[in-house]
Structure 1
Amino acid sequence: MDIFPEDTVSSATSSPASSLYSPSPHGYGSWVQELSHDQQGVRLIGLLYQCAAEVAAGAFDRANHCLEQITQLASLDAPHTLQRLAAVFADALARKLLNLVPGLSRALLSTANSAEAHLIPAARRHLFDMLPFMKLAYLTTNHAILEAMEGEKFVHVVDLSGPASNPVQWIALFHALRSRRGGPPHLRITAVHDGKEFLANMAGVLAKDAEALDIPFQFSAVEARLDELDPDALRQLLRVRSGEALAISVVAQLHRLLAADDAGRRHVPGSSCLTPVQIIARSSPSSFGELLERELNTRLQLSPDTSSVVSSLSPQSPVLQAAAAAQQRPAAAKLGSFLQAVRALSPKIMVVAEPEANHNAAAFLERFEEALNYYASLFDCLERASAAHRCAAERARVERLVLREEVRGVVAREGAERKERHERLAQWARRMEGAGMERVGMSYGGMMEARKLLQSLGWGGSYEVVHDARGEAFFFCWHRRPLYSVSAWRPAAGRHSGGRLGGS
């Protein structure tokens, strides 16, 4: 169930813009007390949409005015879900606005979160405990791997999930392999993670459980992030060997490769930020401000420094609009190279779990609206879990340390810094098929196991697991809204050497 229904959103966003800017005759603060809870919710939604529009237009003063009002209605410590959600999005919009002045933004925000960095792993564990999505992703991934590895004696599983990696997934796989007909295979797991301590702990935990279950086991660690892996050296980095059946698991990480190419992209001055004069002109829509900008542009165009000319162009300039569009166009070269390198390894199966959302749109307002609705559902899930299990403190840590950072990644950042480029399953299918991969159907048995898990943990009713329209992938839904997808892939027939690996 959405936190704000469509009729509420439409009534909020259809209000005249002037009503959002009109100061209360009683001054700031007192007008909040005059609104009922429902009225505050409607006002918050309208302010968020209006603020996003002003940020997109570079209207510094008007966006700031919206933020001033939002912060009087919203807080990370507020009792109501919508207030906390609004506080998270206000934070992201403020950062987006501050990015209009890059030097100031870097000076203020570069180390803003370092004090809380050590708390993030615990917050991720809270998220795992409170919501079923990662558990479902691990279970359905393992089920697909088990089916693909039927009868195999030597199995190599590569875990590319990075921050979403959890030894719990592979301990569950140990138990499933131990009980299979013919006994467990020789199993090797390679984990890719940028935390040396995490990898060491994972190695110890898995080795202990494998020994207790009498499973021949070997662990390999690759200390790196997924986007740091060299596709041309993937076989060597992952220590892929001949004679082993290969499975690859990647949970909530593949989308980060869509940002990798932006790191080397040449910056076009003015394409991602406005000059101070442009900010003044847009913030003060007077003839003087417009005249000042035109005058400065005229003077700069006489300068031999062509970069100054470009930086002085109006944001409405066709040249600047084309540059901005080119800069924001999704970059898929890194992802394509990586997927082609994976295909060359001839895995029997590659299982991909991703958020089911369109957070990679080039248009900022489109990303904002999609993110607002998507994270509203996640906040709603957390609120229900918090109420049911009396874990408000854990819920607050997840919202503050995990979801807030994700929202910043979608809303506030651009270029290579915008890592949270979630896409829907249909788009992932096009990317995978374009790289020479084909679908592996996720079985009905896997779906039934996932549904049993939901029922056993008391998550039935609001949560459900359903097949996609083709009956080949799974969606994990909250009140029928898909929030995550899981799909399985292998090299397309005729474009690979078969299920077993060849080469050295």
Structure 2
Amino acid sequence: MQSPNNNHHQQAQNSSHTSTTRSSDSGEPSAPNNKWASTLLKECAKAISDKDSTKIHHLLWMLNELASPYGDCDQKLASYFLQALFCKATESGQRCYKTLTSVAEKSNSFDSARKLILKFQEVSPWTTFGHVAANGAILEALDGEKNLHIIDISNTLCTQWPTLLESLATRTDETPHLKLTVVVTASTVKSVIKEIGQRMEKFARLMGVPFEFHVRSDYLGELTKEKLCVSEDEAIAINCIGALRRVAVEERSSVIELFRSLNPKVVTIVEEEADFSSNRDDFVKCFEECLRFYTLYFEMLEESFMPTSNERLMLERECSRSIVRVLACELEENIEGECAERREKGSQWSERMKAAFSPVGFSDDVVDDVKALLKRYRAGWGLMQGDGHEDQTGLYLTWKEEAVVWASAWK
């Protein structure tokens, strides 16, 4: 089976107008504009699950003819999911993932990464929503404390912290001492973290906040209290943004227990609202959930960025790595200490957290800050509050009434 060529740009453009009338395997022509990519991709996932090699070849060929990473939303989804399906069919997921990561690391510089993150934050609240909610909860929980220690387990290049430093600098009482320990869980961030630390120290001096910066590069399942250098006189906040999904499902409870042993004033958790965990043994179901989530994400990018945006293309390529990781890498294949991104929804995380912590409702002030943030963006974004039932807590960012990101606070 030959590797699909994703750069059939002209072919895809030429054939995209025919794609909506192409016959499906049932012999019936598809209706116009019925999201052809989703239909063909699901059929291909089912064929792979059924080990129907004739059908697999036929659908991979058809998708390859229509897909393009430079086309419309359907062509892009077809392109990136085709790559994952091909890897799954040929059992080449781990090799492909390593190659994609290696390419990303080579092209990664502090300036390009920072520019990408800031541009994304400018056009979409996807990441800033979690920052505002978490910062609000952290500032309220640590109010009045003199020695603060924030353990930041995220890969957001510290873009969350300048606004928190500003808030600390403008406190009416004495400015506290802040120790920030960043736990890096993505290999692409390790190459730029030193420069980030220097920038943070410079900014803290400018703000007049006494500041210490530390970095840990441990796999989360191997973190200990000693490695995090926690002192008795520190008020601790643990901030997890998109990081817990990188912990193996069976290790999540022990990581949460580690958090509890640190006796934090608050734990903030922000995760994207998708479930690649409970259905991991059923390839078709896992594929459909993955396709549902990334279709929302790609449609959001399409509406937020200019069609020719280089930043948008970079964000989509980042997704291609995750898609291959989720769909085509075996669970036991631990790549450089990272496990596959087995995401869970807010309700699932809540259940885990309630074994060790109690939920902290976001105050009206924090909710108002989040609402004010969303007003800065285009129409389509909304806020939904967990209704306080057994399995629901926190805040949800919604895109066109679909929950996409969940934020919560715990004590």
Return the TM-score normalized by structure 2: 0.84
1:385 has 2:375 as partner: no
- Tell me how far apart the structure 1 counterparts of residues 246 and 96 of structure 2 sit (CA, whole Å): 25
Is this contact kept in 2: 1:54–1:63, CA < 8 A? yes
What is the identity, as a one-letter code, of the residue corresponding to 1:480? E
Residue number among 348, 365, 373 corresponding to 1:453 in the alignment: 373
Residue number among 335, 346, 349 corresponding to 2:252 in the alignment: 335
1:149 has 2:142 as partner: yes
- Tell me how far apart the structure 1 counterparts of residues 396 and 373 of structure 2 sit (CA, whole Å): 15
1:62 has 2:47 as partner: no
- Tell me how far apart the structure 2 counterparts of residues 130 and 60 of structure 1 sit (CA, whole Å): 43
Deviation at 1:196, TM superposition (A): 4.8
In structure 2, the residue matched to 1:117 is 105
In structure 2, the residue matched to 1:214 is 208
Change (3 A) 1:112 1:408: closer
Is this contact kept in 2: 1:447–1:466, CA < 8 A? no
More helix by share: 1
Deviation at 1:189, TM superposition (A): 0.7
C-alpha offsets along residues 222-261 of structure 1, whole Å, 9 cap, x if unaligned?
133434x33xxx2111110001100010100101112xxx
C-alpha offsets along residues 446-479 of structure 1, whole Å, 9 cap, x if unaligned?
12111212223x33x2111221122841101101
1:172 has 2:163 as partner: yes
C-alpha offsets along residues 370-389 of structure 1, whole Å, 9 cap, x if unaligned?
111111111011111123xx
What is the identity, as a one-letter code, of the residue corresponding to 1:214? G
- Tell me how far apart the structure 2 counterparts of residues 17 and 343 of structure 1 sit (CA, whole Å): 54
- Tell me how far apart the structure 2 counterparts of residues 112 and 150 of structure 1 sit (CA, whole Å): 43
Is this contact kept in 2: 1:178–1:213, CA < 8 A? yes
- Tell me how far apart the structure 1 counterparts of residues 96 and 272 of structure 2 sit (CA, whole Å): 30
Change (3 A) 1:391 1:239: farther
In structure 1, the residue matched to 2:247 is 257
Deviation at 1:153, TM superposition (A): 1.1
Deviation at 1:60, TM superposition (A): 2.3
SS in 2 for 1:372: helix
1:19 has 2:27 as partner: yes
1:440 has 2:360 as partner: yes
- Tell me how far apart the structure 2 counterparts of residues 472 and 110 of structure 1 sit (CA, whole Å): 37
Identity of aligned residues (%): 27
Structure 2 gap segments, 5+ residues each: 1-19, 334-338
Matches within 5 A, 1:86-101: 86-99=78-91
In structure 2, the residue matched to 1:466 is 384
SS in 1 for 2:106: helix
In structure 2, the residue matched to 1:483 is 404
Return the TM-score normalized by structure 1: 0.69
In structure 1, the residue matched to 2:195 is 201
Deviation at 1:51, TM superposition (A): 0.4
Change (3 A) 1:393 1:165: closer
Change (3 A) 1:241 1:112: closer
Change (3 A) 1:67 1:199: same
Residue number among 259, 264, 285 corresponding to 1:347 in the alignment: 264
Is this contact kept in 1: 2:220–2:255, CA < 8 A? no
SS in 1 for 2:302: helix
The structure whose Rg is larger is 1
Matches within 5 A, 1:294-333: 331-332=249-250
What is the identity, as a one-letter code, of the residue corresponding to 1:168? T
Is this contact kept in 1: 2:181–2:216, CA < 8 A? yes
In structure 1, the residue matched to 2:175 is 184
What is the identity, as a one-letter code, of the residue corresponding to 1:406? S
- Tell me how far apart the structure 2 counterparts of residues 374 and 253 of structure 1 sit (CA, whole Å): 18
Deviation at 1:16, TM superposition (A): 7.0
What is the identity, as a one-letter code, of the residue corresponding to 2:148? V
- Tell me how far apart the structure 1 counterparts of residues 174 and 129 of structure 2 sit (CA, whole Å): 25
Deviation at 1:107, TM superposition (A): 6.4
In structure 1, the residue matched to 2:287 is 368
How many residue pairs end up in the alignment?
372
Deviation at 1:482, TM superposition (A): 0.6
